[in-house]
A and B are shown apart, each in its own frame.
Chain A
């Protein structure tokens, strides 16, 4: 009997969108302001039904754009409300300006992001160009491999965001369509357990505290701006302590353990593939098959991209021969994708740093198949033998 069953968790068959909408229902936020966009739309629709049926206490604002969605949750969160929204792709891009303002105001907004390629050309399918573009906006970013992780990350995100040492907004990312629209088996906690786990939000300042009026978002010039950005950076650093602490408590409830990343058969691996999101599932299968043939491949599935757990990545990757780093986003740097740059930089100073290679894959929902993963491992296993990587940045599964 698993801990999930012992703790009375319900087994459910839900898509990623349904799982996240259900998590939002259980969180029962004070305010949700959202605008529909493919592939996030179902979250807004399902949540609308919860509101229409009186299953949540949430004041739900169907705003006229994502810009207003993010603006309204900034206003709501500043007024002390636990506030959520959700979006994808161009919607996230339209929020861009206010993402930074939400973070700099230290507002603990939680936002499911259903990853979709950012226009143009317009495309509704999965890649990570939307959230990767927002990686420096000051939001914590959690990535999910499947519906279970999207659900679990959403619940944990509330605690992480509102922690007094953090007070930063969190994006909970899941792959558009691949996770958001695929039916999956997962366990869910009951409402009471979730509400006890997340508690109620106790804001440090609130617009509604009219006896103690505060000015939010003042003009901050040469004199203080830098200090405030420095404090914000400290909040992000503190998240490196808070994220594992919240995960530990969550594991006590569910038996499901979450680290900054998950290592799969990586202990003795020569080649470790670093990967985010649903592709990790495919890659694990490939690794199992390769192991049966005696090839030592392993996976490091990154869950937390912001803050980047650099020290932990060093410990996990040092001594490996090659780290094959997968990017589902192009950053047009002509020198590799964002995950590659960050990981490569993090491990640069470690003793026995592995060689690194970068694969940009799956843009605009291009299928990533086991044979693609195997191709990556084969190339890097050869490199591990020769000690040399010919082409550090490659495009995978594209006509060239």
Chain B
């Protein structure tokens, strides 16, 4: 499978501009890249969240492909129902076209409130791609912590206070949880790595059965970074191995990007206002703890991918 940017750039992407997502939002960039990867028509679902509220304000819609928004925690179940309808109506000869099904949810709608719905849909084996755009908090409603929020981040429900320095505890490893469903395809990517994301989307749309892609997406408001720092911040996430690019194909792990020089996690954290308090002297031990967690996860992933671990 190859990806050609010249051809991609000529493609009509059924997701228009003019929506109300913030400048620099990682979600809209990811959605455009992923829709560009599809060669067949896509029926999309979206969980309640930034992507939904900013792209479907009645009577307007940014979606030039069929879209359903149901509720916050059930985009996986909703798209699984649409996919079931497709199988039923296709078997009856009422629909002839090849159609793909994609569900989009933020980390709140996926890691937290939508986890059961996601797990059920993955287990049942629907031919669908679930995309989590993970920006690490409930951004739509004002930056409340989720189980995807990195340790130490200052959010409106885990504020960096006098006693508690931001979000306690590490993130949930959702990609591993979904991989444990033994579905044909699971991957991590970011829109800063467009070739990686487009290729992975193509693979996810091609496999028979469920696929899951966890996409790290910036939120300039929540991360407190400038609008034009989206791509550089996402690159630092992979260069520090906070967010490794990898895929799990029929249970086989492979790492898609190995930084030439693994950067310290501080380089990813420093430009982000949500971590500013961690750079105070009294919180230095937290930075060490976060680095240890990144290293542990990276080494674990390398073992899974049968990489040599130093």
Contacts and interface: CB of A to CB of B under 8 A. Distances in A.
Interface of A: 30-31, 33, 57-59, 61-65, 67-68, 71-81, 83, 97-98, 101, 206-210, 213-221, 223-224
B85 to A, nearest CB: 4
Contacts of A30: 85, 88-89, 92
A295 to B, nearest CB: 53
A71 B124 CA distance: 15
A208 B82 CA distance: 8
Interface stretch (B104-112, B114-122, B277-285): B114-122
B211 to A, nearest CB: 18
Given A68-B117, A76-B85, A208-B66, A218 B56 contact: yes
A40 B119 CA distance: 24
B71 A72 contact: no
The 3 closest A-B pairs by CB, nearest first: A75-B81, A72-B81, A64-B120
A219 B66 contact: no
Identify the interface centre among B58, B59, B74, B88: most chain A CB within 10 Å of its CB: B88
A21 B63 CA distance: 39
Contact of A218 (B61, B65, B124): B61
A67 B73 contact: yes
Contact of B58 (A33, A63, A97, A218): A218
Nearest to A208: B95
Contact count band on B: 35 or more
Interface in B53-82: 53, 56-59, 61, 63-71, 73-74, 77-82
26 contacts: A30-B85, A31-B85, A57-B91, A61-B81, A63-B120, A64-B116, A65-B116, A65-B120, A67-B77, A71-B70, A72-B84, A75-B45, A75-B70, A79-B89, A81-B88, A207-B68, A208-B99, A210-B99, A215-B67, A217-B56, A218-B56, A218-B61, A219-B52, A219-B53, A221-B58, A223-B58
B215 to A, nearest CB: 22
Given A59-B88, A67-B77, A210-B99, A75 B82 contact: yes
Given A63-B77, A73-B81, A219 B58 contact: yes
Contacts of A83: 81, 85
B3 to A, nearest CB: 24
Nearest to B87: A59
Nearest to B126: A61
B124 to A, nearest CB: 6
A217 B73 CA distance: 14
Given A58-B88, A219-B57, A72 B66 contact: no
Contacts of B94: 80
B123 interface: yes
A203 to B, nearest CB: 10
A215 B82 CA distance: 14
B81 A79 contact: yes
Contact of A74 (B70, B91, B97, B123): B70
- Most B-side CB within 10 Å, residue of A33, A213, A221: A213
Contact of A220 (B58, B91, B121): B58
A65 B120 CA distance: 9
A188 B292 CA distance: 69
B84 A217 contact: no
Contact of A224 (B59, B73, B85): B59
B69 A216 contact: yes
Contacts of A58: 88
A98 B71 contact: yes
B85 A81 contact: yes
B199 interface: no
B14 interface: yes
Nearest to B53: A219
B77 A79 contact: no
A83 B80 CA distance: 13
Given A97-B71, A220-B58, A33 B63 contact: no
A75 B124 contact: no
Contact of B77 (A31, A72, A210, A220): A72
B58 A224 contact: yes
A30 B88 CA distance: 6
Interface in B108-145: 116-117, 119-121, 123-124
A210 B65 contact: yes
Contacts of B41: 210
A80 B71 CA distance: 19
A224 B60 CA distance: 12
B127 to A, nearest CB: 12
Given A76-B81, A81-B89, A215-B56, A209 B66 contact: yes
A304 to B, nearest CB: 28
